[in-house]
Amino acid sequence: MNIDLIEQHVHGLLGAMTGAATTAMVALGDRLGLYRALAAGGPATEEELAARTGLAPRYLREWLSQQAAAGFLVYQADDGRYELPAEAAAVLADEASPAFLAGGATITRGWFAGIDRLAEAFRTGAGIPWHEQDPAVFDGTERFFRPGYTASLTTEWIPALPGVADRLAAGGRVADVGCGHGVAAILLARAYPQARVYGYDFHDRSIQIARERAGQAGLGDRIRFERLDATGYPADGFDLICLLDTLHDLGDPAAALAHARKALASDGAVLVVEPNAADDYTANLGNPLAALSYAASTFQCTPAALAQPGGVALGAQAGPGAVRELAADAGFSRFRQVAQTPVNVVLELRP
């Protein structure tokens, strides 16, 4: 046995445990509004932060110390205050920032809550329906992807599809398939006031939340949300069909793309956004986000797909090549990667 390698693995696991613990502390700070309080009010001692938030100073001392040890806060030894630097605030406090990530930390709470159910699924091979996941998974998934969609969907990704933005601006039709809580549909309705926007999802609670969010945004009369799956929505000649971080969660992705092909206008486009992954498995293991993405795939994506008719589980790291093959089989003749982020790869499908 190589003692150096044993020590390497010990340190690796300790690092992973520290990361998990820090993620839990980030989720706690996000939930309690601690990052926002520090960003708005500036550096604070535990007593000053307690006065701002109404929280107990003794608990705040531990949270502040952990966050300083993790490197998110800077401890000022001269006055005992803790500072949230502006760069950290962009990631932890400002939900309008494209770099905001604290909301996604919530998802791990849902994963831990589902370990017993997942262990049984490993033994039986059965799927776990999306609606049976812990609610933290729904909230965390939305908040993980929302900053990227907000920053790029209508400003970069759709403009990269020739002619699509003009058609939506002129009153075109767009379907968001697997719409979740309605983040993308609301962005589309705001960016293209004349467009007719439809959101489809098979999860009852997500559709309810999407309708509530649209109403709160003053867009309730401009977006129609329906509980329909990826092969059940009307084939109404859409100018744009969006499948945003959805395709790999479906039990029959081939059928979903075939239906999208049928539902698309002759000169329309399908926008497929998938987790960023390399087609070559060995190369993909070096992807900085591969470990996180494979965890997400294990906890939620693969179980959801296996619980649906078809039972084809692409997984969250299938890569654009797998989508290209499915698209060709579904009748799409043109396939193009139009954008890439650290998190996502953005694909255009055309008839």
pLDDT at residue 100, as a whole number: 98
pLDDT at residue 220, as a whole number: 94
The predicted model gives 98-116 an average pLDDT of: 96
Q: Taking a C-beta distance cutoff of 8 angstroms, is the pair 64, 82 a contact?
A: yes
Of 187, 237, 236, the residue nearest 210 (C-alpha): 187
Q: How many whole angstroms separate alpha carbon 219 and alpha carbon 120?
A: 42
pLDDT at residue 304, as a whole number: 98
How far, CA to CA in Å, does 255 sit from each of 112, 226, 309, 311, 312? 32, 19, 10, 12, 11
pLDDT at residue 71, as a whole number: 98
pLDDT at residue 311, as a whole number: 87
pLDDT 10s digits, 111-158: 999 999 999 999 999 999 999 999 999 999 999 999 999 999 999 999
DSSP letters, 2-65, are -HHHHHHHHHHHHHHHHHHHHHHHHHHHHHHTHHHHHHHH-SB-HHHHHHHHT--HHHHHHHHH
CB atoms near residue 337 (< 10 Å): 14
| Residue 11, burial from CB neighbour count under 10 angstroms (0-12, 13-18, 19+) | exposed
| Residue 318, burial from CB neighbour count under 10 angstroms (0-12, 13-18, 19+) | buried
Percent of the chain with pLDDT over 90: 99
Strands 173-177 and 334-340: unpaired
- Single-letter residue type at 29: G
In the numeric block, which tokens belong to residue 190?
């705001």
User: What residue ranges do the domains of the chain occupy?
Assistant: 3-92, 107-350
pLDDT over 90 (residue 37): yes
Q: Taking a C-beta distance cutoff of 8 angstroms, is the pair 212, 189 a contact?
A: no
Q: Taking a C-beta distance cutoff of 8 angstroms, is the pair 324, 332 a contact?
A: no
CATH architecture of 3-92: Orthogonal Bundle (1.10)
Report field, pTM of the whole predicted structure over 0.75? yes
pLDDT 10s digits, 183-209: 999 999 999 999 999 999 999 999 999
pLDDT over 90 (residue 277): yes
Of 111, 178, 125, 112, the residue nearest 303 (C-alpha): 125
Of 70, 116, 54, the residue nearest 62 (C-alpha): 70
Q: CATH: 3.40.50.150, 3.30.470.10, 3.30.428.10, 3.40.1080.10. Which one for 107-350?
A: 3.40.50.150
pLDDT band at 275 (very low <50, low <70, confident <90, very high): very high
| Residue 161, burial from CB neighbour count under 10 angstroms (0-12, 13-18, 19+) | buried
pLDDT at residue 269, as a whole number: 99
Q: In what order do the strands lie in the sheet with 173-177?
A: 223-227, 196-201, 173-177, 238-244, 264-275, 344-350, 334-340
Phi/psi region, residue 33 (left: phi>0; alpha: psi -120 to 50; beta: rest), is left
The predicted model gives 62-88 an average pLDDT of: 99
Of 186, 25, 30, the residue nearest 94 (C-alpha): 30
Q: What angle do CA 74, 76, 82 make, to 5 degrees?
A: 55
pLDDT 10s digits, 157-179: 999 999 999 999 999 999 999 99
Q: Taking a C-beta distance cutoff of 8 angstroms, is the pair 288, 277 a contact?
A: no
Percent of the chain with pLDDT over 70: 100
